[in-house]
Structure 1
Amino acid sequence: MSDPRARHTLQAALALALGAAVSLGLARFAYALLLPPMRADLGWSYFTAGAMNTVNAAGYLAGALLAPRALARWDARALLLAGGWGSALLLAAHGLVRGDPALYALRGLTGLASAATFVSGGLLAARLGQGGGLRPALVLGLYYGGTGAGIIASALIVPPLTWPAAWQALAALALLATLAMAAGTRGVDSAPAGAAAAALGWRRRDFGFGLAGYGCFGLGYIGYMTFIVTLLREQGLGSAVISAFYMLLGAGVIASSWLWAGLLQRQRGGVPMALLNGLLALATLLPVLSTQPLVVALSGALFGAVFLSVVAASTALVRHNLPPAAWPGGIAAFTIVFAAGQIVGPGLVGRVADGAGGLQRGFVLSAALLALGALLAARQRPLARTTVSSGG
């Protein structure tokens, strides 16, 4: 890459991607690998196992609600790094306790720290993309694709360890990633948005179908990411196969940065979110329809290549349709409905899985919610330029 500006943008985007690796890859999605041994050791039902992720999502929602005001007052990079340091400390504490109340509290606080990193990182990536050198959609894709690096690292580290030791190892990784992120994001535009930007008016109903489709995404995808490892274990797949599956899923997340960048760059409405939700519904159904290793691998590869691009699609929708000063509020609005869906999703799927039909029935429910999200997002239209410029 001979263009110095493009090289600098790429380096900064990859450093920001470590924020997504920590906040989602390590702090949230690694839980799927830890769930089977924790459930066996602590005697959890599926509902309790899902409720742990529900509490994590509730903390994330609280962080998303606080994000617009925080970004208006404080440096976005400082919030990014504070969330990273906090996540590392909280992950370490997971390995020191065994009681459900303490674990619930830690999952909730980890969600709060994750939101601080993920929302501020998304804003920084959107600003970085405006600086030139790389396509804005590619910068967003690289940022969200960083989650895949966290997923792959989890798949390599967690399976050989006891669950308390695994939490400690994840904490060490989060600490190292945050140190690297701090070094690589110096000079990125991270100035506070200011009180005027926080108060900038725009009508959430203009994004009504996009927000509804994104809420269904939050409801549906989290069931897969919470319970897929448990389902594969119940279907008799061994630890080595499951680790390879999770690494394949993580590789798909990284690849998604390039797969969907063109689509996100061209489309200003809800088409990308609709297409991606539909593909996720298919990926969620595949392990229910067949336990053949090839079908299971296809499910993981497809899910990984798609699900974080739905998040990128929401940010692209905001970037295409609102002025830069309104981006913090727009990104936070989508993050809030996403987090609300994640609060309900794990417990809902867990409750269904505790009944007749087991986890397969829960996965069918998740697929149906994702399909509904596709139908809703397809109705989202670009905002009129006059609406955007007026802020109303």
Structure 2
Amino acid sequence: MSTTAAPNGHQPHPFVLHHPILAALALSLGTAVALGVARFSYALLLAPMRNDLGWSYLVAGGMNTGNALGYLLGALVTPPLMRRHAAHRILIAGAFGTALLTVAPGLFTDTSVQLALRVATGITSAFIFVSGGLLVSRLAALHGQRAGLLLGLYYGGTGIGIAITAPTVPAIIAMAAAHGAAHPWQWAWLMLAAMALVASIVMSLSARLIPAPAAQAAAQGSWQARSLLFGLLGYLMFGLGYIGYMTFVIALLNEQGMAPGRITWFFTLLGVATFCSSRLWARMLDRFHGGQSLAILNALLCVATLIPALTAQPLAVFASGILFGGCFLSAVASTTAMVRHNLPPSAWASGISAFTIIFAAGQIVGPTFVGWIADSAGGLQRGLAFSAAALLVGALLAWRQRPLVSGS
């Protein structure tokens, strides 16, 4: 087992040295909160909220656009924050902030308030993603032979959130309806907040043991964005394309008449596949230093997104969910791996921030554009076809990204 000293000269905590898998799993609860609970559970709530509040698909998609806008703002703010505060403190603050903000949607029905809350949750979720990405990169640097697996476990934690919320959100909504609640979906938000709070507590116990290099040192690393231009553009198209599927696929399955029990299984299996993908793609993330990993994953996601746009056949739809779950967070991990492979440790924070910002920009466009398409002729099927096309373009762009010769 490696006993490499930390880049800031401090010896890592024994838990970090001897139990890297457990450390990565604990950190992964941050992504479970940021994405699995706070963002992607909205797919389960979109139809009940839309029906209750009279939203169009444009408005419903705009909620995730608001979340992505907040994510962009958070990604812009996090680097200066990390120049003043340790990364693990920002991660913990982001997780608890997200948990508290998840309470609020269960207390209001006003559309403007709901949108404002989605924006605020996006900001705190970005705190989790940027600071957590830096910490898991630090962990991976200490255990180079397991770097791909550790990165995959961190991002695959989103699947934990999805797999848990998939059966519990519909059950809570049904329970609330049975008790005569005026807005049954509000109960689900309160339950999600409780889950996020528990996950944040567990995550914080491990996060504080993985101190990143001093923020001031991390800020000194410089690099030219054009050196990873095609990787960034491929990731922009990934953000634009994948979010349409994750926002609207449950609504599409409802429209197609799939039984609620099958929809629950669909989303649960998608979450399980997301978590299991950490091992599936680990060696690929270690092997390829350019944009090949992102290109391959974007191409597979294109196929997965196109399937429910073409057929409502249950086996095909389930295959779509499993394939999508098995790829989409590994695409995120691939960009962190790209940063690690091509930039010096002092530039990891700025590199991860750059990819997070471009990712957020794509997510801002995706949900609203797909919702606008869905409100016109062709419906959600045509909206997902647009998402698939964006992912295909992302694959072609990422394939053109070559590793940097000097790694700087």
TM-score (norm 2): 0.92
Is the aligned partner of 1:104 residue 2:121?
A: no
Percent identity over paired residues: 56
CA 1:5–1:358 in 2, change beyond 3 Å: closer, same or farther?
closer
Partner of 1:179: 201
* Counterpart-to-counterpart distance in 1, 2:208 and 2:220: 28
Partner of 1:137: 148
1:219/1:366 contact within 8 Å kept: yes
Q: Which moved more, 1:155-164 or 1:322-331?
A: 155-164
* Counterpart-to-counterpart distance in 2, 1:6 and 1:146: 21
1:349/1:366 contact within 8 Å kept: yes
**Aligned with 2:187 (options 161, 165, 176):** 165
* Counterpart-to-counterpart distance in 2, 1:139 and 1:183: 18
* Counterpart-to-counterpart distance in 1, 2:93 and 2:15: 29
Q: Residues 272-287 of structure 1 correspond to what in structure 2 (within 5 A)?
A: 272-287=293-308
Map Cα deviations across residues 167-199 of structure 1 (whole Å, 9 max, x no partner): 0000000000001011223421234321x5324
Q: What amino acid is the match of 1:130?
A: A
**Aligned with 1:318 (options 314, 329, 339):** 339
Partner of 1:26: 37
Partner of 1:356: 377
* Counterpart-to-counterpart distance in 2, 1:157 and 1:150: 11
Partner of 1:229: 250
Q: Residues 278-317 of structure 1 correspond to what in structure 2 (within 5 A)?
A: 278-317=299-338
Number of corresponding residues: 385
Query: What SS is found at the alignment partner of 1:73?
Result: coil
Map Cα deviations across residues 95-147 of structure 1 (whole Å, 9 max, x no partner): 00000110011000000010001111111000011112751111100000000
Is the aligned partner of 1:80 residue 2:80?
A: no
1:5/1:132 contact within 8 Å kept: no
Query: What SS is found at the alignment partner of 1:158?
Result: helix
**Structure 2: which 5+ runs fail to align?**
2-13, 174-183
Partner of 2:7: none
TM-superposed CA distance for 1:376, in Å, is 0.3
TM-superposed CA distance for 1:69, in Å, is 1.4
CA 1:133–1:366 in 2, change beyond 3 Å: closer, same or farther?
closer
Q: Cα RMSD (Å) of the superposition?
A: 1.4
TM-superposed CA distance for 1:73, in Å, is 1.8
Q: Residues 188-267 of structure 1 correspond to what in structure 2 (within 5 A)?
A: 188-194=210-216, 196-267=217-288
CA 1:191–1:199 in 2, change beyond 3 Å: closer, same or farther?
closer
Partner of 2:5: none
TM-superposed CA distance for 1:281, in Å, is 0.2
Query: What SS is found at the alignment partner of 2:170?
Result: coil
Is the aligned partner of 1:375 residue 2:396?
A: yes
* Counterpart-to-counterpart distance in 1, 2:360 and 2:164: 24
Map Cα deviations across residues 146-173 of structure 1 (whole Å, 9 max, x no partner): 0000001110210022210000000000
Query: What SS is found at the alignment partner of 2:249?
Result: helix
